[in-house]
Structure 1
Amino acid sequence: MPSRPPSLLLSKWHKMLNLPRQACPAWHRDRLLEEQIELQQAKGTIARLSEFSDIIFAISRAHSNGYLFDRQLPPLRANWHVYSYMFSKFTLRWSFYRTAAWLCRAPNVDGVREVINPAKDYKLAEVAGRHAD
């Protein structure tokens, strides 16, 4: 049975992030599988919390793109700490890239909508390449 659509809060948050739509359901399934593997490999409470938030993000992003998975989103009330971590983590990343684009006087700051981990140099180069003149 497919999971229910995301809550109003998640919908509004994804609308604010305005990430590029991924047209292929397989893209979302691949991200979810990657995150599930990373959760299994995570050591420590914070690492597991982070990876679980990535799983919720992958599912909710798929929902916001119109794809429903068999996987239910965990209830917000029972997992408020995970959702809080997710909202903070991805909103801060999104803000980081938009601020960096503004500081670098990027020609299309409004078009910079990224949530990739900026702590990894190769990912920073990937994002910069997408937004170069």
Structure 2
Amino acid sequence: MALHRWFAMLKLTRQSPPSWYRSRIHEELRERRAARTVWQKLSETSDVFFSILRAQYDGHPVTRPPPTLCLWRNSLVYSYMVAKYTSRWSFYRMASRLCRGVDHRLICEVVNPAKDHKLEEVALRHHIDPAIFKRTCRKLRRIWPLLP
């Protein structure tokens, strides 16, 4: 129930076609298998959980969710996931507020802001000058408590 409210707060755009969700989950599982350190595994596991839960929330449930999705067994993963994606969501809202010219309340993004090509995609999606947005995000990343 709390995660349902959290997804409602994030207001992420539903993706089309539905196969997008499956592809995303497969990509996250590949990254999870490639993770080496405990920290990387935690981060990638949270990405897998996020992708599965987002698909379910958006009405495209995966056919077989992993048996490890049990909340009480994975409270650390869930806590990390909520902190990580809420931080990214807040980061983009603040960056858009600093860029001015766009209503920051309409910015609902959770992609990794450490990747410049993702910043450009976000800027173009929201009709923000990509150069200004990237410059603003780079400055903001110096002080923002982002989780990987």
Q: Does 2:19 align with 1:22?
A: no
Q: Does 2:45 align with 1:82?
A: no
Q: Does 2:42 align with 1:49?
A: yes
Provide, for residues 61-112 of structure 1, a one-character-per-residue CA deviation record: whole Å limited to 9, x for no partner: 0011111112336111110000000000000000000011111113222211
In 2: Cα distance, 1:129 partner to 1:55 partner: 26
Q: Does 2:57 align with 1:68?
A: no
Match of 1:116 in 2: 111
Q: Which runs of 5+ in 1 are unaligned?
A: 1-7
Match of 1:91 in 2: 86
Percent of aligned pairs with the same amino acid: 47
Q: TM-score, normalised by structure 1?
A: 0.90
Runs of 4+ off more than 4 Å: none
Match of 2:143 in 1: none
Amino acid at match of 1:57: F
- Deviation, 1:32, is 0.2
Q: How many correspondences in the alignment?
A: 126
Q: Is the 8 A contact 1:76 1:83 kept in 2?
A: yes
| CA RMSD, Structure 1 to Structure 2 (Å) | 1.2
Q: Is the 8 A contact 1:59 1:71 kept in 2?
A: no
Residues 85, 107 of structure 1: CA spacing in aligned structure 2 closer, same or farther, 3 A cutoff? same
In 2: Cα distance, 1:62 partner to 1:95 partner: 22
Q: Does 2:36 align with 1:36?
A: no
Amino acid at match of 1:50: S
Q: Is the 8 A contact 1:11 1:64 kept in 2?
A: yes
Q: Which runs of 5+ in 2 are unaligned?
A: 129-148
In 1: Cα distance, 2:38 partner to 2:101 partner: 38
In 2: Cα distance, 1:130 partner to 1:121 partner: 14
